[in-house]
Amino acid sequence: MSNTPDTAVRAYIDAHRAAFLDDLAEWLRIPSVSADPARAADVRRSAQWLAAKLRETGFPTVEVWETGETGTDGAPGAPAVFAEWPSGEEDAPTVLVYGHHDVQPAAREDGWHTDPFEPTAVDGRLYARGAADDKGQVFFHTLGVRAHLAATGRTAPAVNLKLLIEGEEESGSPNFPALVHARADRLACDAVIVSDTGMWSEDTPTVCTGMRGLTDCQIDLYGPDQDIHSGSFGGAVPNPATEAARLAAALHDGDRRVAIPGFYDGIVELSEAERELFAELPFDEKRWLGAAHSHGALGEAGYSTLERVWARPTAEVNGIGGGYQGPGGKTIVPSTAQLKLSFRLVAGQDADRVQQSVRAWVAAALPEGIRHEVTFWGATRPCLTPLDHPALQSVVRAMGRAFGQKIRFTREGGSGPAADLQDALGAPVLFLGISVPSDGWHAPNEKVELDLLMKGVETAAYLWGDLAASGRTDRRPSP
């Protein structure tokens, strides 16, 4: 299926590896911390640095897109970088690569062994804030596309290649959905490649096939108009703290299955094939519990831990509060209580319908004398690409050639802006990442494994040819 000989790709990468790493180090020195207003100029400088590098790489169109300018009142957000390189061939599929150039805060005194903004290579690892999340994984596409051209003798990529590298991901992408919607025509594509995730481990290269969605809410319960004496009135009036607890407890049945009527309506169940693939992963529960800082595994009956976090929708109590929480006791029936819930969603679940189900369930559960309000904060849709999707198969083949190993499958339990791209562009979202759990995203001593980084370059070098060769990418959006 490939039109790029492996030896040519490897030779090109080897020849340019040193310069590539020098360039990456230069970018990593820019402390593009989007959460810190004092670093706004650095975030802008990071965007401009990337734009210049993409022009140098050969992209004929490179633009720095301002964000957040929604009107005269709109505070500007951090700039994104857009680049486009048309294939020149009719019927070539169009691919959009997503990543981000902003980074998490980092300071030497947080426990870094080296300056987080002075990239340091030790034992085949490059330590720096952003090395894995996400500058390293964005940057492998630059050498990747050059290797693709060099090995195939092309002057333009085999696909119409677009890049959108945002500058606010570490700040919750506040302006990203608006940007994507406003620029949907420029971003139009047949598939989105998200390079902002990781693999199972160094030894087990994987492709992620989906992320869970999310909707979260606050439920406020109002009982007596003030805290009242539990001796004079307790046992004879409804207690909002008790009712909040009853709601939270009723979220799950005895099998820890979500008990809200209608919650599971329409979901895409895990296929037996996918369950078998998950089960093949070398999962070490003790190690996983260590990463979770937890002392026991507990969840929906009939599913493994990986299935629970990757492929099953959940209802989680993020916070509960009501009545007296200070030291000692206070014999009251509280006036109010509050519950914060989040629901992780899987493909097939509609956030609006879930929200309606939650509202109806709350209203039906509460006794007379308890008034309530339910406030949803928002929703991020789930995304999932079927295992047999042609574009996913291309990613798997490209990785397989780079790693020389069988590529396995994972999913991501969290929720992210990938779903905004899927929704706005109607294109399937694929994940290509080479980071591993030990890379320490958001933590001190973030690093990237240099060998894996070069595998990312190599995968990118194979991917465009494979996608073009395997025909016009299936435009089926995720379910």
Partners of 258 in beta bridges: 252
How far is the C-alpha of 141 from the C-alpha of 126, rounded, in Å? 18
Burial bucket for residue 89 (CB in 10 Å: 0-12, 13-18, 19+): middle
User: Is 224 an interacting residue with respect to a second copy (CB under 8 A)?
Assistant: yes
Residues 437 and 458: their CA atoms lie apart, in Å, by 21
CB of 222 to a second copy, least distance (A): 8
Residue with Cβ nearer a second copy (146 or 308): 308
Q: Is 325 in the site for a second copy (CB under 8 A)?
A: yes
C-beta of 60 vs 234, nearer to a second copy = 234
Q: Which H or E element spans position 216?
A: strand 213-222
Compute the distance between CA of residue 406 and CA of residue 426 in angstroms, rounded to an integer.
Answer: 30
Looking at the Cβ atoms of 58 and 444, the one nearer to a second copy is: 444
Q: Pick from 201, 206, 42, 9: which is nearest to 117 by CA?
A: 42
Q: Which of residues 457-476 bind a second copy (CB under 8 A)?
A: none
| Closer residue to a second copy (CB): 121 or 374 | 374
Backbone angles phi, psi at 449, to 5 degrees: -80, 120
The amino acid occupying position 188 is: A
Indicate the residue among 18 and 291 with the shorter CB distance to a second copy: 291
DSSP 8-state code for residue 33? B
User: What is the Cα Rg of the chain in Å?
Assistant: 25
286 binds a second copy (CB under 8 A): no
From the centroid of its chain, how far is CA 287? 22
259 lies in the binding site for a second copy (CB under 8 A):
no
H-state helical runs in 200-284: 240-250, 272-280
Q: Which of 10, 45, 340, 359 binds a second copy (CB under 8 A)?
A: 340
DSSP 382: -
> Which stretch in 32-40, 148-156, 327-335, 426-434 sits in contact with a second copy by CB under 8 A?
327-335
289 binds a second copy, rule: CB under 8 A = yes
CB of 258 to a second copy, least distance (A): 9
Task: Report if residue 249 touches a second copy, rule: CB under 8 A.
Answer: yes
Selected binder of a second copy within 10, 16, 29, 252 (CB under 8 A): 252
Using the contact rule CB under 8 A, the part of the chain among 274-282, 297-305, 394-402, 426-434 near a second copy is 297-305
CB 114 within 8 A of CB 125: no
Residue 420 beta carbon to a second copy: minimum distance, rounded to whole angstroms: 16
CB 206 within 8 A of CB 199: yes
Give me the least distance between CB of 199 and a second copy, in Å please.
15
Cα dihedral sign, 260-263-264-265: positive
Residue 78 near a second copy by CB under 8 A: no
Spatial distance between the Cα atoms of 240 and 248, rounded to a whole number of angstroms: 12
Member of 159, 221, 337, 450 binding a second copy (CB under 8 A):
337
What minimum distance in Å lies between the beta carbon of 175 and a second copy?
A: 17
Chain centre distance of CA 68: 21
Token duo for residue 13: 């990468």
Q: Is 368 in the site for a second copy (CB under 8 A)?
A: yes
- CB of 189 or CB of 214, closer to a second copy: 214
The Cα–Cα gap between 194 and 433 comes to 8
Q: Which is nearer to a second copy, 61 or 331 (CB)?
A: 331
Closest by alpha carbon to 274, among 389, 151, 144, 136? 389
CB nearer a second copy, residue 24 or residue 244: 244
Establish if 184 lies at the interface with a second copy (CB under 8 A): no
Residue keyed to tokens 């060769």:
469
Stretch that binds a second copy, among 44-52, 201-209, 266-274, 408-416 (CB under 8 A): 408-416
**371 near a second copy, rule: CB under 8 A:** yes
Query: Which of the stretches 245-253, 382-390, 425-433, 469-477 binds a second copy when contact is defined by CB under 8 A?
Result: 245-253
Size of the site for a second copy (CB under 8 A): 80
Contact (Cβ atoms closer than 8 angstroms) between residue 399 and residue 459: yes
The residue (of 342 and 470) whose beta carbon lies closer to a second copy is 342
DSSP letters along 144-162, please?
Answer: HHHHHHHHHT-SS-SSEEE
When asked if residue 412 is in the footprint of a second copy (CB under 8 A), the reply is yes
- Asked if 417 and 187 touch (Cβ cutoff 8 Å), the reply is no
Per CB under 8 A, the list member of 130, 136, 157, 223 interacting with a second copy is 223
Ranges within 193-222 binding a second copy (CB under 8 A): 212, 214, 216-218
By CB under 8 A, tell whether 399 contacts a second copy: no
| 372 binding a second copy? (CB under 8 A) | no
Q: What is the DSSP letter of 165?
A: E
Binding of a second copy at residue 302 (CB under 8 A)? no
* Residue 346 touches a second copy, criterion: CB under 8 A: no
Per-residue tokens: 85:
């390189």
